[in-house]
Chains A and B, each alone.
Chain A
Amino acid sequence: MNGIDSALKPRLRRRSTFEYVAWVVCILLGLGILVSVSTNPNFKWGVVAKYFTHESILRGLMLTLFLTVASMLLGTLLGLVMAIMRASSIKPIAATAGVYITLFRGTPVLVQLIFWFNIAALYPNLTIGIPFTDISTAIDVNALMAPITAALIGLTLNEAAYMAEIIRGGFSAVGKGQLEAADSLGMSGAMKMRKVIIPQAMPSIIPATGNQVIGMFKETSLVSVLGVAELLQSAQLIYARTYETIPLLIVASLWYLVMTLVLSYPQSQLEKKYSHTSARVPRKARKVVLTAPEGIAR
């Protein structure tokens, strides 16, 4: 044909008509929404801007972050305990964990939160004492179960059930041969768990846990029903006064969106790091020079 060597010509991807149509529809739709959202005065973008960094909104955000971190930490710890119990060869222990997981995964977290908040209806007084003696103190459960306590307990107990399943999944990914090798060296059960099972289960547990963190961050909005002034409740408190409902919901949503995006980055990095097929080689191993001549070993 013309001067270019055929062997050097680029090979182009085929674009279907449908692809062009999709582009056009997508752009038109996007523009339409953008125009509508920005020109509709009812969105009150000025109000959104005004409250975006409002002190009580930021305080709510802090509380949301605190609830996320605290309930994830506690939930992961309890979940680990439950996963280990679930794997126990002692039936009553495994069954206890099984019942726990079923109950807490099988009921809505919103119901659980309200339940813990009202637990005083079932047990008005908590008595802590030493059995068979007169030494004891009674605690008023109603006072103890402040909204934030109920929120933390509810989120933690619920999260533990999910984490237990994630961790258990990680455990079962560890091959039977690994357990046999540990057994044949005479390792105790706890040692086997610490040195063989948990390190190898981590690559599948960590990315899933990252996902849970992102989920939990938004799940905390449920505790607004208990009157805990986290992000959503803080917004609600303001619009209850000013009736600027939509702008304040947008403020809260934007913060949820921003924080989710912020959390997504480390999450995707974790996933990349652990989903690699070479994940079985710990990262520090990649420093080792791989070019040692095969022959020297013989």
Chain B
Amino acid sequence: MSNDGTIHARRIRKSFGPKTVLHDIDLDIASGEICCIIGPSGSGKSTVLRCINGLETVDSGVLKVNGDDFGYYETDNAYHALPPKKLAEQRTKVGMVFQQFNLFPNMTARENVMAGPVLVKRADKKQATKRADELLASVGLGNFGDYYPAQLSGGQQQRVAIARSLAMDPEIILFDEPTSALDPEKVGEVLAVMQDLAKKGMTMVVVTHEMGFAREVADSLIFMDDGYVVERGDAREVLANPQEPRTQAFLKQVL
């Protein structure tokens, strides 16, 4: 059975210097699952996400993405880091959308979307162009291929960033507070694109403060605080009926 689109973590730990930011985190995300991670800032939710595509490395624990040990291979008594080429290959199957979009300012929207397929996968340029235009159209930016990021609004940039991730045909796509840097009125257009994506069966892990999105779109929800998973479960269930006092207090503040 293929494990594509799954994420499995057992007791992952991560410290920055003396501060432990992840304490024995477990995750089990199925293919096609939409999982939202919520929690106050500094709770470690972004760090979890960044570990899943190797922007941070975990100190210990098991981390399998798409069924493979991520960034490492296991021997009898240790995990050994993979060569950069292998890690890059694993990363192509995990898309990432950043809070600050991080589009390449020296490339047009179309070139940004084509960057992965053409530069990394060595795809045919003509086909990649066609695909890029289709993807831009699918995020509602069909006419904006020739625009540079600086000429686009935040919401438009974030939609290009989503198209750029999709161009790699990832099994999993990670969203790190995708709407936090946007004007309130631009949030909706990005969430709408994400909602579309959710319907297509992509595995999505979304770190967010958008409780509405979590309630309407997410299958599962994880609430983190201070490096611990405090509560997890069915998204609507947890939001409607939180069991832990800490979750109750947090939700009372944000809802």
Contact = CB atoms under 8 A, between A and B. Distances in A.
Given A183-B54, A187-B119, A280 B150 contact: yes
Nearest to A196: B104
A297 B144 contact: yes
A285 B143 CA distance: 15
Q: What band does the interface of chain B fall in when counting residues whose beta carbon is under 8 Å from A?
A: 35 or more
B102 A288 contact: no
Interface in B97-149: 98, 100, 102-106, 108, 115-116, 119-120, 140-141, 143-144, 146-149
A188 B88 contact: yes
B182 to A, nearest CB: 14
B239 interface: no
A186 B89 CA distance: 6
Given A185-B116, A186-B88, A200 B106 contact: yes
Contacts of B165: 184
Contacts of B15: none
A200 B89 CA distance: 25
A292 interface: yes
A177 B84 contact: no
A298 interface: yes
A292 B144 contact: yes
B55 interface: yes
Contacts of A184: 53, 55, 91, 94-96, 165
B151 A178 contact: no
Contacts of B120: 185-188, 191
Nearest to B93: A186
B168 interface: yes
Given A184-B94, A186-B91, A189-B84, A298 B189 contact: yes
B95 A298 contact: no
Given A195-B115, A278-B150, A288-B151, A181 B104 contact: yes
Contacts of A185: 91-92, 115-116, 119-120, 164, 168
Contacts of A188: 84-85, 88, 120
B41 interface: no
Contacts of B94: 184
Contacts of A175: 102
A186 B141 contact: no
A180 interface: yes
Contacts of B115: 185, 195
A292 B143 contact: yes
A199 interface: yes
Contact of B119 (A191, A280, A296): A191
B153 interface: yes
A282 B106 contact: yes
A184 B97 CA distance: 9
B105 A280 contact: yes
A283 B176 CA distance: 31
A281 interface: yes
A185 B117 CA distance: 9
Interface string A189-225: 1010001100110000000000000000000000000
Interface string A271-298: 0000000101110010010101010111
A294 B186 CA distance: 12
Contact of A290 (B100, B106, B151, B189): B151
Interface of B: 53-55, 84-85, 88-89, 91-92, 94-96, 98, 100, 102-106, 108, 115-116, 119-120, 140-141, 143-144, 146-151, 153, 156, 164-165, 168, 189
Interface of A: 175, 177-178, 180-189, 191, 195-196, 199-200, 278, 280-282, 285, 288, 290, 292, 294, 296-298
Q: Which are the 5 A-B pairs with shortest beta-carbon distances?
A: A181-B102, A186-B92, A184-B96, A177-B102, A186-B88
